[in-house]
Amino acid sequence: MTKPILELKNVTTVVNRGTASQTTILKVINLTINPGDFITIVGTNGAGKSTLFNVIGGNLTADGGQLLHNGQDITHLSQEGRTKFLARVFQDPKLGTAPRMTVAENLLLAEKRGQARHLVFRRLKSRLTEFKTLVATMNNGLENRLMTATGALSGGQRQALSFLMATLKRPDILLLDEHTAALDPHTSATLMAATDQRIREDKLTALMITHHMEDAIHYGNRLLVFKDGQIKADLTGKDKATLTPEKLAAYFE
């Protein structure tokens, strides 16, 4: 039997506790994530999707319940402590990269994720061929801009770099927080195809929030529907394979 890589048990989060505007965002969430799962997540604004990611990522501590990583309780583990096994790509292409550092320097920095960082020789030149091969998988010309400051890249190239940096160390858990939402349709489609390829080839475990119904249906092996702080549907197999945008939209009615 496969051992879960991440478990959420009766997880609840509350905001503005003790005030007239106290609100429960996540309402007793139970979720088991197995190695190799690629889970797409849809839901209306305020449904709890981003709060879920903040709780998993350690940005927010659950008010109730428990989180387990490979059977170990991480409920109160810091955000920094979770970088050893978890990576996240945000919606904003400006997040996740250092703008004044070159593409190659950012990749070199990403290799130190979750490790103590010391003053050492970079040995950057010896890695350029390897990095060029890596960024070429994004199919957006990034391989020609290795020595370009990240702040000078297009939004799509910068987001592709953020994705590569997040996956370079093959994290146990990858959180994709609407990582294509700020991009034009063509750039979004290119990044999604590259995302899917890397997740499958590296056998990564990933969760992806998206507002694109077609992407939620087309990609991944599981689809979660969030509504009012709860998981209303967890679709796999034939249920997901036969899903249409119209059927999916019906969950929000």
Interval 143-178: pLDDT, tens: 999 999 999 999 999 999 999 999 999 999 999 999
Please, are residues 57 and 46 in contact by the beta-carbon 8 Å criterion? no
Averaged confidence pLDDT in the chain: 92
Is domain 6-252 given the CATH code 3.90.650.10 in the classification?
no
Query: What's the CA angle centered on 6, arms 112 and 80, to 5 degrees?
Result: 35
Over 70: is that where the pLDDT of 204 sits? Answer: yes
Please, are residues 29 and 63 in contact by the beta-carbon 8 Å criterion? no
For residue 190 the two structure tokens come to 């290119």
Over 60: is that where the pLDDT of 119 sits? Answer: no
Would you list the domain boundaries of the chain?
Answer: 6-252
Residue ranges of E strands in the chain: 6-15, 23-33, 38-43, 64-69, 72-73, 86-89, 173-177, 206-209, 222-227, 230-236
Q: In this predicted structure, what is the pLDDT of residue 117?
A: 52
Please, are residues 110 and 168 in contact by the beta-carbon 8 Å criterion? yes
Across the range 24-40, mean pLDDT stands at 96
Over 80: is that where the pLDDT of 110 sits? Answer: yes
Among 227, 243, 242, residue whose Cα is nearest residue 41: 227
Sign of the torsion formed by the C-alpha atoms of 41, 212, 167 and 105: negative
Q: In this predicted structure, what is the pLDDT of residue 122?
A: 61
pTM of the predicted structure, to 2 decimals: 0.93
Strands 222-227 and 230-236: antiparallel
For residue 47 the two structure tokens come to 């449904």
